[in-house]
Amino acid sequence: MKKESLIMQILIIDDDESTQFLLRNLLELEGYEDIIVTNSSESAMELLGISGFNNDAIEPNLIILDLHLPDLDGIQTCMRILGVEKFQDIPIIMLTGSSEKASLRKAFDAGAVDYITKPFDSIELISRVRSALKLKHEVDLRKTREAELLETNQILEEFVARLKQASDTDGLTLVANRRCFDENLIKEFQRIKRMNFQAEAKLTLSLILLDVDHFKKYNDNYGHVEGDYCLQRVARTLTEELNRPGDLVARYGGEEFVILLPNTTLEEARSVAERLRKAVEDMQIKHAFSSTSPHVTISLGVASLIPDDNVTLNLFVDSADKAMYQAKTTGRNRVVT
């Protein structure tokens, strides 16, 4: 395997042939094999793919740049190269005559990392080249590590989001599960309570609890698989019937579902419940063993409260449950508030 230093590519931009020759020889003696030499700023721009599209554009690890070029001067050339995003970390060593020290400041301002005065000392040249390449290598390594870390973080975040999604979802019906409902109930209660604080018109939180009628008979007669399928269809209908973004359908357990309706009054919730009742009945899922209807139906209980300092959540679900129980005892397939 090749030593790291040998696979480094070096671009020399200088119009003087003897300088080109000398630099190339010294670098090759040191073991750098991939050396590209060019005469002018414009030809360098072409090689780097800066002045126009170049399918074979090079990406050198180091540039040695003459301060005086026949076209654009070295300082402007330096700025043009470093202004390209993918080249912003390329180390550029300026080549200057000994009388040009005054220009050095400009060269460093333009982003050059080092300079060598002509005529140059070979040991000095090699040392500066090596140290610039070493620095570049370290920057590259750091950037690669940062990019890898970022990617790992993104994968982790996606994974966590998927876990959260799974832990919030009921596996059979794909609506929210009980855990997710409990969490959202508290969140919405607190949120509306904050909004109601010192507000003139108080917002209401409503709840619909519903249960499939005579579902035991459905299971006993059509089988558990058909029962599961029926629950899936009911869940889908409930979801499709709700149209406000904050509404949440959850499976409360067994054949019972619960719907959270933020900023919804008792009257509004009652009409939502009535719409749901009708939508389930209108699916006309055959149920020959129900004493209520020839089709699958649901019974619904509705409860509302105004979240503020005077109420707690404790009895909220209970009161929806009581209303639902009343819907059961007064004939099923109905809404009770």
Catalytic residue annotation = 255
Q: Please report, as residue ranges, which positions from 253 to 272 form the binding site for ligand GH3 (by CB under 6 A).
A: 254-255
Size of the site for ligand GH3 (CB under 6 A): 17
Q: How far is the CB of 256 from ligand GH3 (least distance, A)?
A: 8
x/- binding map, residues 214-243, to Mg ion, per CB under 5 A? -x----------------------------
Nearer to ligand GH3, 123 or 225 (CB): 225
When asked if residue 170 is in the footprint of ligand GH3 (CB under 6 A), the reply is: no
Q: How far is the CB of 93 from Mg ion (least distance, A)?
A: 14
Q: Please report, as residue ranges, which positions from 219 to 248 form the binding site for ligand GH3 (by CB under 6 A).
A: 219, 224, 227-228, 231
What gap in Å lies between CA 223 and CA 43, rounded to an integer?
80
Report what 308 binds from ligand GH3, Mg ion, none; CB cut-off 5-8 Å by kind. none
- Residue 38's DSSP bridge partners are 13
What gap in Å lies between CA 70 and CA 90, rounded to an integer?
23
x/- binding map, residues 302-331, to ligand GH3, per CB under 6 A? --------------------------x---
Nearer to Mg ion, 8 or 234 (CB): 234
Nearer to ligand GH3, 212 or 273 (CB): 212
When asked if residue 15 is in the footprint of Mg ion (CB under 5 A), the reply is: yes
Report what 219 binds from ligand GH3, Mg ion, none; CB cut-off 5-8 Å by kind. ligand GH3
* Nearest residue to Mg ion, by Cβ distance, number only: 68
Nearest to 308 by CA among 206, 208, 205: 205
- Residue 13's DSSP bridge partners are 38, 65
Give the per-residue SS3 of the chain: CCCHHHHCEEEEECCCHHHHHHHHHHHHHHCCCEEEEECCHHHHHHHHCCCCCCCCCCCCCEEEEECCCCCCCHHHHHHHHHCCHHHCCCCEEEEEEHHHHHHHHHHHHCCCCEEEEECCCHHHHHHHHHHHHHHHHHHHHHHHHHHHHHHHHHHHHHHHHHHHHHHHECCCCCCECHHHHHHHHHHHHHHHHHHHCCCCCCCCEEEEEEEECCHHHHHHHHCHHHHHHHHHHHHHHHHHHCCCCCCEEEEEECCEEEEEEECCCHHHHHHHHHHHHHHHHHHCCECCCCCCCCECCEEEEEEEECCCCCCCCCCHHHHHHHHHHHHHHCCCCCEEC
Nearer to ligand GH3, 211 or 247 (CB): 211
Q: How far is the CB of 229 from Mg ion (least distance, A)?
A: 16
Nearest to 268 by CA among 337, 187, 320: 337
Out of 11, 129, 212, 248, name the contact with ligand GH3 by CB under 6 A.
212
When asked if residue 181 is in the footprint of Mg ion (CB under 5 A), the reply is: no
Report what 30 binds from Mg ion, ligand GH3, none; CB cut-off 5-8 Å by kind. none
Nearest to 90 by CA among 160, 10, 149, 147: 10
When asked if residue 172 is in the footprint of ligand GH3 (CB under 6 A), the reply is: yes
Out of 66, 188, 211, 321, name the contact with ligand GH3 by CB under 6 A.
211
Q: How far is the CB of 278 from ligand GH3 (least distance, A)?
A: 18
Tokens describing residue 157: 């975040």
When asked if residue 211 is in the footprint of Mg ion (CB under 5 A), the reply is: yes
Q: How far is the CB of 206 from ligand GH3 (least distance, A)?
A: 22
Contacting positions for Mg ion (CB under 5 A)? 15, 66, 68, 211-212, 215, 255-256
Q: What does the binding site for ligand GH3 look like in residue numbers (CB under 6 A)?
A: 172, 211-217, 219, 224, 227-228, 231, 254-255, 328, 332
